Amino acid sequence: MTQKLIFFDIDGTLLDDEKRLPESTRQAIADLQQAGHFVAIATGRAPFAFKSLLNELDIGTYVSTNGQYVVHNGEAIYKNPIKPDDLEALERYASERKHPLVHLSHDDWYSNTRHHPQIKAAVESLKIEREITYHPGFYETGDVYQTLLFCTGDGESEYVQAFTNLDFIRWHDYSVDVMPAGGSKAAGISQLIRHLQIPARDIYAFGDGMNDIEMLQTVQNSVAMGNAPDVVKNAARAVTKDVNADGIRHGLKMVGLL
C-alpha cells in the first residue's frame, strides 16, 4: 500500500467524552504505523496539552494551536504567532468588557486574570494536568500562537467585527479560540504537506469540531465523527460512528486504511 498521511483531531475524535483513549483507537493507530503510514495530530491544543498522548501513541508530527505551530519528528517547521500589536489591542478591548484572556505559547499557557469561574470551567473540561500561569504581561515578551477569549452567548461577534486581523472560533460555552486571520488546521496541514511532499490523494483527516470544518473541506479524504454536529458532518467526504462506538477504527475501515 502507498504510504498515507493521516491527521487526527484529539477531543471528540481520538479521545472520547471522558477524555480517554479507546483501546480500539490505540490499536488502530498502532496498525497504521506498523503498515508504514504517517500518523499526525491536528488539534486546537498547544503541544504541552497533549504531550502525554504523543508519547502514548509514539507520534512525533503534529499541527497544533489550530495550525499556528507545526512540528515534524520533533522539529518545528512552521510558526505563525499572533502579531504583538493585535494582542495589545485585544487585551485593551477585552479588558473594557471584563472578558479574561489566556495566551498559549508552545510550552505553557498564561492568564491575565488570577481566578475566574469561566476559565476554571472551560479548562477543567479539557482535563489537562497543568495549572495556568498567572502572567498578564506574557504577550508582550513571548510568542503567542493562540489566545483563549472567555465570554458567553455570541459575545465573540463584536470581536469579529472589531478585529479583521484575527479569527474567532467557539469551542466551549465559555470560551473562544483566537488566532491570526487565515490561520487554521487546514493552513497548518498545507505547510506539513509541502514539507513532506505527499500527494493530496494520500492525505486523510478525522475530526468532529467547528475548528475542523476547513480541514475536512480541504483534505481530499476527510471523515467526520458520528458525534460531530451536522455542519461538521456536511463538510466531510464521509461520516463514521461516534467516538464512543469505536468510530476511529470503523472510519479507517470505511476508507480502506485498515
Q: Which domains does the chain have, with CATH numbers?
A: 5-79+183-254 (3.40.50.1000), 84-180 (3.30.1240.10)
Strand partners, 63: 42, 70
| Alpha helix ranges (H) inside the chain | 23-34, 51-57, 84-96, 117-126, 157-162, 185-196, 213-218, 230-233, 247-254
99-123 pLDDT per residue, tens: 999 999 999 999 999 999 999 999 9
Cα Rg of the chain (Å, integer): 18
26-73 pLDDT per residue, tens: 999 999 999 999 999 999 999 999 999 999 999 999 999 999 999 999
User: Across all residues in the chain, what is the average pLDDT?
Assistant: 97
Q: Are 146 and 178 in contact (CB under 8 A)?
A: yes
Residues 6 or more apart whose Cβ sits within 8 Å of residue 19: 11, 126, 127
59-72 pLDDT per residue, tens: 999 999 999 999 99
| Model confidence band, residue 1 (pLDDT cutoffs 50, 70, 90) | low
* Cα gap 156→174, rounded to integer Å: 10
Res. 129: pLDDT tops 90: no
* Cα gap 257→31, rounded to integer Å: 9
* Terminal-residue alpha carbon distance, the chain: 11
Per-residue CA distances from 207 to 12, 16, 133 (Å): 8, 12, 29
Res. 184: pLDDT tops 90: yes
Q: 100 is written with which cell numbers?
A: 479574561
61 vs 1, more confident: 61
131-155 mean pLDDT = 96
- Pick the closest to residue 189 from 29, 70, 39, 17 (CA basis): 70
DSSP annotation of 11: B
Q: 240 is written with which cell numbers?
A: 463514521
Does the pTM exceed 0.85?
A: yes
Res. 196: pLDDT tops 80: yes
Residue of 9, 86, 108, 177 marked active site: 9
Q: Reply yes or no on whether 58 is catalytic.
A: no
CA angle 143, 145, 150 (to 5 degrees): 115
220-234 mean pLDDT = 98
- Pick the closest to residue 49 from 62, 34, 35, 38 (CA basis): 62
Res. 150: pLDDT tops 80: yes
